[in-house]
Structure formats: structure tokens, C-alpha cells
Structure 1
């Protein structure tokens, strides 16, 4: 197993940082552009959110099976193919002729993107020693946070100067460049064992992971964390481009600099969880998420921005802990266990991201914060259940 501090560890960290960067940049570059898309196609905010939701639900479904495909074809091949194909589809999306065409391309992009996240988590759990896994996963997720920031900021600026079509085309080209870096740097798998279980057995393996209550709790946390995160950032653009703020797309895009908080929290919280216990630190991240959401209710813009920063800090820290925990709880078939975590994670994005649009239309911003508050309460309950399960389990090494 690869140890922290070695050259191989640094190469893996760089490659997966680039991969995480591409994944979030491609997937979420349209998020700050939803007001533009809504105006361009004369659709409601909830309908504009489908440009993100259809991608995430396509990712979620594909992830259930892409792990099995990577078992047969190899982690490195699947991850590289995922980055290249999704970048090409992003470029083609810039030339979509109508709303339906854009949705179709976003579905295909979600399918293509699915190969990276589930396989990357499995690759890390196979190659990195357990005591360094939390830190390695945090570095990968920090790439997600910076990619999300870059995708949103760049798309906002290019939209103001040119158009939203030019913005997503540029992000596609950027993704191809990062895919080349990934292919050149990522080391081949050392502990990968090729298997070809077939579809029937793959479904059976997926079902077997659902019989573990601790894994189900982590899947629920993935749903809640991502659901609240996407909902907040889906509709903050509508809130800030409207009265009384009337911010430009560039300014709204620049607010996503708060994602840098995730770069810090994903690695720092991962280390704290390795040292002090995952359930305790995970509960703290949920409390930070809730505090950040409440701050966004205040009418003062600077307090809203502070709230967005707190929210991003808590989310990326919580996701880092929960995602790395799955590979440790799963006794066997980690690929399927990670795929199910990401399935619930992205289903949470799709369901909550679009459902939040109806809450926003009927109740305004307080409806969004109310939904996140309910998610936080459920998250605390799941952390409590995980802590109780941890105390009941006798282990020689306190890795949980």
C-alpha cells in the first residue's frame, strides 16, 4: 500500500486532484448560468435546474454499473475515458439548438462523467494505506471544490463578455487539457485484480451492500449533504441577480470563491476524523452547514457571503469524511459500495436540486433554508446511529 510522503503518493494526489477539478467544473459550470438559460429558453427556475439534475441523475444510475465495468477493464482506463468523453460532450453542448437538445447532451455527459468519481474512490481505497486514506481522499475532494469554483467563475465571466454557450464550450476545452495531465501522471494500479462478475452478479453485489445498516446510514448522509449543497447554490444566483442586489453573472460567479473553503476543510477535516473519530467530526461539519445556511437569510450581502463560505466549508469536510468511510465499512466489494454511496449522493442532488425550485417559487429563500435545516436534523440522527454502531463493534484498530 502506498504511504503518504512518497513520490507515488504525490503523483496520485496530483492526478486525482486534476480529475476532481474536471468533474466538478464540467458538471456544475451551468449552475450560475441558470438565470441566463431560463431567459434564453423562456422556462421557469425549476425547469432550468433540470440542466443540472438530469446530469446528476444520469451519473447516479450509471455509477451503479460503472464500478463493475472498471473491475473488468481497469481503473485507469475508465477514469481517463470518462474525462475525455465528458469534455467532448461539454464542447458540443455549446452548439445545442434548443432546450431539449441541451438536456439530452447533459444526460449523455452525466453518463460519461460517471466513470470518474466511483472509480477514483475505489482506486484510492485499493492503493493508499488506511491511515493515509482520509488525507488522500481530502486532496481528491479539494480538486472537486476548486473545479467547482473555476467552472462557475469562468462560466460567469465568459457569459458576461460573450455568451453562456461560449462559456460551456471553453469549459469543455479546459476539461480535455486536464484529462491529458491525468493520463500522463496517474500511476497504474498495483493492487487491482481483474474480475468480470456479469450483470446479474453485479446487481447481487449491489444489493448485498444495502444489507449493511452502517453503509445505508452513510448513503443517507451522502443524499442529505449533496442535496442541501446543490439546492443552496442552484438558487442563490436567482436570489442575488434579482432585487435588491442585481449582481452581474461575473459577480455571482466570483462568489463561488467560497469553494476554496472546501479545499481547506476536505483535507483538514479528513485528518481530524482520522485522529478523533469520524462520527464526531462529521456531526461538527453538519452543524457548520446549518449555521452557514441560516446566515444566508440575513439581508446584508456580506453576511450572506460568510454563510456561503461556512456552508461550503462544512459540506466538503462532511463529504470527505463520509466518502472515505464507505471504503472502510465495506468488508468486500468496495467498488459496489462506493458506487452506491455516489448513487445516493447524486440522486440527492437531482431530487433536492429540482424540488428546491418549487420550494423557492412558493416560499422564497426561507423555503430553501428550511429544507436544509430538515436535512441537517436527519444528518445528526444518522451520525448518532453510526456512533452507536461503532461502539457496538469491537475492532483492534480505531479506523472508524
Structure 2
């Protein structure tokens, strides 16, 4: 008989040291990235709920004021890929920390912008700084979390985004009503400072990161490889189109609610963003939804939910508009969680670049949605904004249908090839 200690040593051991629910460090990591998501979205969209007040305070049009949002998201879209390359060299944790630190510092300067031009410039710098966070976070999760827990964990990070977007808008709405839009931006800066400190204190050190070298040619090859991948290309398009809808709706909704027949004060308009809580739930539940209906099924449901919300929001009753926003928000966050997690699972190498390309497409969609949504509102009112959103959702449906058709065609070819061999 072998000794007891030798017998015990042959018991199965879980060799996978990556994080998963119930394992040490997973809860700390989840809270840390949740806090980072709160800070990032609160800062990135800090002016969105304030656009009517900024228009009035600086004497500018809705389209001009919308650049305080589009400038930040556009700069993020442009800078996310080069900063993701730096994360491959210096580490995900380092890049996320630096990004939040710079963005918070600029956020504390934004309230003192003397005019619209300075405000847009500072917001662009802030967006560029934040570019180091999202792709690095996705790559960190893909490396440090077990695959079966990845969608749920990314969903929690996205949920932090929704909480940040919601809290930032609510804080700015009421602060602007009480003390003006500049004080509102200062409040968001302080809130984000607290979240950044929590993030840095809680996030575990990376255990599965291998530093790479800064090789522009290798980076270009990796980017070309990702862009040539049909599935990744479809996911990038889906993320951009979903965000076009979301950016258009939430950039313009404040202007609609401040006008007749609603005539809501700034504080109540900010509180409308409580519907972001729906996004928290839908993004966190995306993993279960995929388990039941598959990824494409989840995208179809997200698109249908968003479409229903857009149509319902055309009504001139506050209850219908609110319900429409709930459906739009639920559909968007579910679709975003499914698409972004699919990118992390699909890319086998260069995950930071794959996530960066998704984030770039996503925030270009946000920038385009904000600007085009404001232009459509100026030209045709809320109906114009809704039509823009419906076109974008139709694009999501078209891409998903094409993906379904391609997958079925590939399956038939495999079956025919298998039959021919036998």
C-alpha cells in the first residue's frame, strides 16, 4: 500500500490559476474594474446631460455643444489602438492606472474652461487619456479570468460603465440645477477621483501577462490580421452601430425633454438617466442570455429590444418616452456585452489590439451618433434622431443575418466534404 501522503498527492488538482468566481482575488478584481468603469463613463460622458445648459451658458447651438461629447469619444477612438500597444509592453495594470490618473487630472481642469473651444480641447485630451483603459481592461480579463467566467466578468465591467454613465449624468443634472454646469463638471471630477483610488488599491497584480516589444511592423501585421478576420470585422461593425444609436439618443434626449410638451428642469433630466440601471442588469445577464439562445440569438433580441424602444419613444407622453429609453438601454448594453466578449474569445493572439479595434469602432460610433443625432434633431426633431437609430439597428440586423448565413454555409460545406470522403 502506498503511503497516505503519496496517495493524497495523486488527487486531481486544479492547475488553472486564472481567476473565477469563488477563487481568491476574483471579487477584488471585479470591484476594481467596476470602479474603473464607473470613473471612465462618468468622465467620458460628463457633458452629455449638460448640453442644454452648456448651449445656454455659452450661447452655442446643440450641434456645436455636442462636440464636447463627440470630441472626447472621437479622441478615444483614435488613441485606443496605440495605447493598447503600450499596454503590451508596460502591462495592462500600469496602462489602466496611468489612463485614469491623467483623465481625472484633466477632469478637475475642465470646469475652468473659458469658452467652448477650450472645453472641447480639454475634453479631447480627456478622451485620449481614457483610451488606455477599455482595451487594456478587456485584455487583462481575457488573460486573468477563466474562459467560462469571461462573459459574466466583462458584463460586470460593462455594468460599471452603465453605473458611471448614470451616476455622472444624475450628479451633473442636479448639481447644474443648483450651482451651474461648471460645478456639475467639478462634482464628476471628484467622484471619478474616488473611483480611481479604489481601482488602484483593489486591482490584483497580473499573473498571466507576458511583456512584448514595441514593434510597429508587428503591430501593423496584427491589426491587418484582425481586420481581415470576417468574424472580428462583423463584431466591430455591430459595436459601432449599437453605439451610434446610443450616442444619438442620449446626446439629444436632454434637448427634447427641456422643450414642450415636457419642459423638464435640468435636475429631472439628469435623473432620467436612472434608466442606466437597466443596462447594468442586461449587460450582467448577457452571459445567461447567450447560454440560452446563442450569441446571434442574443444579438437579434438586443436589436429587436432597441427597435421597440426607439419606436415607443416617438410618443409625446413622458411615460412612453421613459419606457422607450429603458428598452433602448437594455438592448444596447446587452448587445455591447455580447459583441465585446465575443471579440476577446475570438482573438487568439494580439488580444489587446483586437479589443482596441473594437473599442475604436465602438467610440467612433458614439462620436458619429452624437454629432449626426444632433444634426438630425436640428433638421427633423426627435423623429429624425429616431430614424437615424433605426437605420443603425437595421445595420446590426443585416450584419448578424449575414453572419448566420455564412455559418450555415460553412456547416453545409463541411457536411458535404465529410460525405464525399466517406
Q: Same fold (TM over 0.5)?
A: yes
Identify which of 359, 372, 375 aligns with 2:376.
359
The secondary structure found in structure 2 opposite 1:331 is: coil
Mapping of residues 153-168 of structure 1, within 5 Å: 153-168=170-185
Give the count of matched residue pairs: 394
Say whether 1:202 aligns with 2:225: no
Aligned runs of 1:261-272 on 2, under 5 Å? 261-272=278-289
Tell me how far apart the structure 2 counterparts of residues 320 and 221 of structure 1 sit (CA, whole Å): 11
Deviation of residue 307 (structure 1)? Answer: 0.6
Which whole-Å deviations, capped at 9, do the CAs of 1:265-291 have from their partners, x for residues lacking one?
001122221443111111101110110
**Given the alignment of the two structures, is residue 304 of structure 1 paired with residue 331 of structure 2, yes or no?**
no
Structure 2 segments unaligned to the other structure (5+ residues):
1-17, 415-422
**2:319 is the counterpart of 1:320:** no
Shift, 1:153, TM fit: 0.2
Correspondence list, 1:342-353, <5 A: 342-353=359-370
- Quickly say closer, same or farther: Cα 1:390–1:2, change in 2 above 3 A: farther
The 1-side partners of 2:360 and 2:386 are apart by 24
* Cα deviation digits, residues 205-262 of structure 1 (max 9, x gap): 2122110011110000011011100100110100000112110110000010000001
Quote the Cα distance in structure 2 between the aligned partners of 1:389 and 1:179: 43
Q: Contact conserved, 1:93 with 1:102, CA < 8 A, in 2?
A: yes
| CA RMSD, 1 decimal | 1.2
Moved over 6 A (4+): none
Work out which of the two has the higher radius of gyration on C-alpha atoms and give 1 or 2.
2
Name the CA distance, whole Å, in 2 between partners of 1:321 and 1:76: 24
Does 1:254 find its partner at 2:271?
A: yes
Structure 2 counterpart of 1:4, from 18, 21, 27: 21
**Does the 8 Å contact 1:57/1:346 carry over to 2?**
yes
Give TM-score, length-normalised by structure 1: 0.96
What's the secondary structure of 1:189's corresponding residue? coil
CA contact (8 A) 1:59 1:343 kept: yes
State the match for 2:4 in structure 1: none
After TM superposition, list the pairs within 5 Å mapping 1:113-262 onto structure 2: 113-262=130-279
Please give the TM-score of this superposition, normalised by the length of structure 2.
0.91
- Counterpart-to-counterpart distance in 2, 1:45 and 1:7: 49
For residues 28 and 128 of structure 1, what CA distance do their matches in structure 2 show? 29
Contact map agreement 1:84 1:175 (CA 8 A) in 2: no
Cα distance in structure 2, aligned partners of 1:15 and 1:369: 36
Q: Quote the Cα distance in structure 2 between the aligned partners of 1:23 and 1:32.
A: 16
Is contact 2:66-2:374 (8 Å) kept? yes
The answer as to whether partners of 1:65 and 1:202 remain within 8 angstroms in 2 is: no
**CA distance in structure 2 between the aligned counterparts of 1:388 and 1:66, rounded to whole angstroms:** 36
**Pairing 1:38–2:61 present:** no
Q: Is the 8 A contact 2:63 2:375 kept in 1?
A: yes
Distance across 2 between alignment mates of 1:97 and 1:131: 50
2:115 counterpart residue number: 98
SS across alignment from 1:297: coil
Deviation, 1:357, is: 1.3
Distance 1:63 1:272 in 2: 29
CA distance in 1, matches of 2:329, 2:247: 11
For 1:257 and 1:7, the matched residues in 2 are separated by: 33
Whether the aligned pair in 2 keeps the contact of 1:131 and 1:274 (CA below 8 Å) is: no
- Cα distance, 1:327–1:347 mapped onto 2, change above 3 Å: same
Cα distance change on mapping 1:333 and 1:275 into 2, 3 Å: farther
